[in-house]
Amino acid sequence: MNPFSYLRPATEKEALAAIAQPDTMVLAGGTSLVDLMRLEVMRPQHVVDITGLALAKIETGSSSITIGALATNSEVAYHPDVVAKLPALADAIRSGASGQIRNMATTSGNLLQRTRCAYFRDTASPCNKRSPGSGCAALEGFTRMNAIVGTSKDCIAAHPSDMCVALVALDASVHVRGASGERTVKVADFHTLPGDHPNVESVLQPGELVISIEVPTTPLAAKSRYVKVRDRASYAFALASAAVALEVQGGPGGTIKAASIALGGVGTKPWREPAVEQALVGKRATQEVFSSAANLALATPDVRPDNAFKVGLAKRIIERALALVAGGSK
Ligand code: SF4
């Protein structure tokens, strides 16, 4: 591991000053950064440990739940208000990683986690995300876990987070703070497409710190589910997943008043599907409607032989998640 300086500030002011210096990484749970530093994929000169800051609260308000940046994945997934009011978020977090990792990993770390593209982690392979301008080994390589939408000629890495897929479907926002004050960004707009700068992954600016994530507690959010398909039953990243929220008037088989759909495992960022949502609203909540709406997902995928199966798989996952929400089954 490369030498680096380590600082654990006691106040947010000290933390903001420390992270403003160039070549600095923020350390929270350490479940991602420490691995990547050991592999020499990330080689920061300075590491600022923010675990001494008071940013771990989960607060329930009248119309939203605000989750502190340092709340652990386990604390969020098993919080009674999150389970009751934001079931897709609880499902999504519980479907990710292992219990031990969820006990350490934080909300802001999950939001900012790096891709699991195998070539990104292999310093012997060219990777534009790790080393800008070096090339992309995945384009001619093994792509089963790579993205099929939001791709570019420079990077096809899938976004790895389950939590973020649920946050996008639930219309959550990120509160960030920097030297010039606080700003709020929708999670749907927080992650960026790779384009020709795949090393840039979000709109978070150098010197800014994620403070919290706010999730609206709407009737739509209360009827939400997350369905994930992976290569093994535990501790694996999504081949494809869907976070689905559905508000139906008049009970089972009634009229769909609102719908929200986001996909994981298929996009270079959590992937919202407005065409599917629009095809559902105003229709009856039936299996036929779910099936024809799901069929509109991923209209123009960028597939390779190893990952073409994700198109059909994602459509079936959407259909399954819609049926689960509409049926109210566990
Ligand atoms: Fe790197 Fe992206 Fe190519 Fe993977 S897909 S090797 S992360 S540039």
Ligand 1: centre distance to CA 195 (Å): 12
The answer for 26, left when phi > 0, alpha when psi is -120 to 50, beta otherwise, is beta
Average pLDDT across the chain, whole number? 96
Select from 42, 116, 119 the residue to mutate for testing ligand 1; criterion: most ligand atoms less than 8 Å from CB. Answer: 119
Residue 118's identity, in one-letter code, is: A
Regarding the beta carbon of 136 and ligand 1, being less than 6 Å apart is answered yes
CATH code for the domain defined by 219-327: 3.30.390.50
**Predicted pLDDT at 279:** 98
Q: What is the pLDDT of residues 240-298, one digit of tens each?
A: 999 999 999 988 889 999 999 999 999 999 999 999 999 999 999 999 999 999 999 99
**pTM (predicted TM-score):** 0.97
The percentage of the chain sitting over the pLDDT mark of 90, rounded to a whole number, equals: 95
| Closest approach atom of ligand 1 to CA 137 | 6
| Closest approach atom of ligand 1 to CA 128 | 8
Count CA within 13 A, CB hemisphere, residue 71. Answer: 22
Select from 42, 128, 140 the residue to mutate for testing ligand 1; criterion: most ligand atoms less than 8 Å from CB. Answer: 128
User: What are the two backbone dihedrals, phi and then psi, of residue 10, each rounded to the nearest 5 degrees?
Assistant: -95, -20
Residue 144's identity, in one-letter code, is: R
Select from 140, 142, 143, 156 the residue to mutate for testing ligand 1; criterion: most ligand atoms less than 8 Å from CB. Answer: 156
Residue 135: CB atoms within 10 Å: 14
**Predicted pLDDT at 329:** 56
CA distance 223 to 246: 6
CA distance 29 to 37: 14
Exposed/middle/buried for residue 178 (C-beta within 10 Å: 0-12, 13-18, 19+): middle
Task: Indicate which residue's Cα is closest to atom 1 of ligand 1.
Answer: 127
Give 225's contacts (C-beta < 8 A, 6+ positions apart): 87, 88, 91, 243, 244, 321, 324, 325
Sheet holding 181-186, edge to edge: 58-60, 64-68, 209-216, 173-178, 181-186
Q: Name the nearest CA neighbour of 268 among 216, 316, 310.
A: 310
Contact 148, 301 (CB under 8 A): yes
Tell me the pLDDT band of 235, cut-offs 50, 70 and 90: confident
Pairing of strands 58-60, 209-216: unpaired
Distance set, CA 311 to CA 263, 288, 300 (Å): 11, 19, 10
**Predicted pLDDT at 234:** 80
CATH code for the domain defined by 1-51: 3.30.43.10
| Closest approach atom of ligand 1 to CA 157 | 5
Ligand 1: centre distance to CA 119 (Å): 6
Regarding the beta carbon of 158 and ligand 1, being less than 6 Å apart is answered no
Could you check whether 1-51 and 219-327 share the same CATH topology? no
Q: What mean pLDDT comes out for the span 216-229?
A: 98
pLDDT at 112 over 80: yes
Contact 291, 320 (CB under 8 A): no
Residue 186: CB atoms within 10 Å: 12
Q: What is the pLDDT of residues 159-201, one digit of tens each?
A: 999 999 999 999 999 999 998 999 999 999 999 999 999 999 9
pLDDT at 89 over 60: yes
CA distance 134 to 122: 13
Q: What mean pLDDT comes out for the span 92-115?
A: 96
Give 228's contacts (C-beta < 8 A, 6+ positions apart): 92, 95, 162, 238, 240, 241, 264, 265, 317
Residue positions counted in the chain: 330
Per-residue 3-state assignment (H helix, E strand, C coil) for 303-314: CCCCCCHHHHHH
**Predicted pLDDT at 330:** 47
Q: Name the nearest CA neighbour of 299 among 260, 269, 271.
A: 271
Would you give the end-to-end CA distance of the chain in angstroms? 45
Question: Domain ranges in the chain?
Answer: 1-51, 219-327
Q: What mean pLDDT comes out for the span 237-242?
A: 97
Regarding the beta carbon of 150 and ligand 1, being less than 6 Å apart is answered no
